[in-house]
Amino acid sequence: MTIDKALKDKGLSDAAASQLAVGHTALIKKMRMPAKGEKRYNVVALQKLAEVLELEFYFGPPRETGTVYTTQLGHDDFDVILRLDARLAAGAGVENGEVSYEGALAFCRKWLNEHNISPSQACLMRVSGDSMCPMLRDDDVVMIDQRKTTIRNRHVYALVDIDGSSRVKRVELVDNEMIILSSDNPDYPTEMRRGPDMNRIRILGEIVWSSHAW
């Protein structure tokens, strides 16, 4: 994914993204300016910009870091994403014992690339419960992008809660002092994690796709 596409996806201007990354608005502007001689960039600043835009900071073309299973249907290439034999609780947490793979689904590589999803760093799991209805229903399959572990407020994440249970919730970080876990179903109360409990929550990844069970 290019910087321009990442900016568009996040709805950020050059100045806004630069401000979030390094505290001033000129970083991307300077990158775009033509230069007669050699351009020099602060590596730390570029790393912070990559974090803001959720891009990987590295040298070279896009690459996969793990095993990717591929197939072809017609003229389109597909990548296979593995499904875990485990569940995410939409409600009270669910304990998953030893986790194994129970199958896989194939996704069009073009679609994955458009959404900046790495097949080797994504997985599929099922949802249990109705706390995230109507967005997610009991027995739905969801895709977890395991690279996206930085909390973006009100986005939906798979997480391991303080009691070790696996859950799916909307997550909000408030002033680095409190994490709020909320449900889409109004019958379920909002939960809060403060102090040491904040650091005991482990974000598994953001939910980036789902399929409804019928």
pLDDT band at 18 (very low <50, low <70, confident <90, very high): confident
End-to-end CA distance of the chain: give it in Å, rounded: 35
The whole-model pTM stands at 0.66
Mean pLDDT over 11-19 rounds to 88
Q: Which two tokens stand for residue 65?
A: 């870091």
pLDDT given at position 154: 95
Chain centre distance of CA 115: 11
Question: In 28-186, at which residue ranges do the beta strands (DSSP E only) sit?
Answer: 69-73, 76-89, 101-108, 122-128, 141-145, 155-160, 166-174, 178-182
List, for residues 25-64, the tens digit of each pLDDT value. 888 888 777 766 555 666 677 778 888 888 776 654 455 5
What are the distances in angstroms from CA 204 to CA 122, 125, 159?
A: 10, 12, 5
**Angle formed by the axes of helices 14-22 and 3-10, nearest 10°:** 90
pLDDT at 214 over 50: yes
**Helix (H) / strand (E) containing 203:** strand 202-211
Question: If you average pLDDT over residues 124-144, what whole number do you get?
Answer: 94
pLDDT surpasses 90 at 158: yes
Q: Residues 101-124: what's their mean pLDDT?
A: 91
Q: What's the pLDDT at 61?
A: 46
Assess whether pLDDT exceeds 80 at residue 86. Answer: yes
Of 40, 54, 48, 41, the C-alpha closest to 18 is: 48
